Amino acid sequence: IKAIEELTGVEYTKQDDKLKAAFHVLADHIRSSSLIIADGGSPSNEGRGYVLRKIIRRALLFTNKIGNLNIFSNLVKEFLSNELALYSDLKKHIDFIENTIIDETERFAVNLSGGSKRFYEMTKGEKDNKFSGKNAFILYDTYGFPLEITEILANEQNRIIDLNEYD
């Protein structure tokens, strides 16, 4: 949490509960991501790789609430330097863990940009305040654009996603 404060200039103790939760998510997710990667996991679309990808990308969503996407990868060294006494075998994986998280962060940044563009294209010319569940699912299934982000974008345009159709 101290490292997040230093990287963002945002003081934990002066924040509301929602922003404090973002600090906790980042701290928890950097730990779990680092340990999974050190154990041989890598982000992918299936199995534990899928879980790792979701953990990293969920953390990246929370970095936007505090700062920017880049702070997450900067937390790796801080976490590892604090935890090497407890997890001494992590020392040999520091570069691999950091590079894996940086690569996934870059992929997700591209995904966010492309997905946002597709979202706006899908809503162009629509007159009502709805966004089809089918389009939300296409963004997720075909382009890997998280429903959480689609909901944020829809909310910004006062649109409602048909979640029954999405399901």
pLDDT by residue for the chain (167 residues), tens only, comes to 999 999 889 999 898 888 899 999 999 999 999 999 999 999 998 888 989 998 998 898 888 778 776 788 888 888 888 887 887 778 888 889 999 999 999 998 888 889 989 999 999 877 789 999 999 999 998 888 889 889 988 998 999 999 999 99
Q: 143 CB contacts (<8 Å, ≥6 apart)?
A: 111, 114, 115, 118
Give the residue carrying structure tokens 């950091």: 98
The pLDDT score that the predictor gives to residue 117 is 93
The pLDDT score that the predictor gives to residue 69 is 62
Say if CB 23 and CB 1 are below 8 A apart. yes
Tokens of 126: 């629509």
Tokens of 161: 């996603």
The pLDDT score that the predictor gives to residue 109 is 85
* Cα angle value 154/156/158 (rounded, 5°): 70
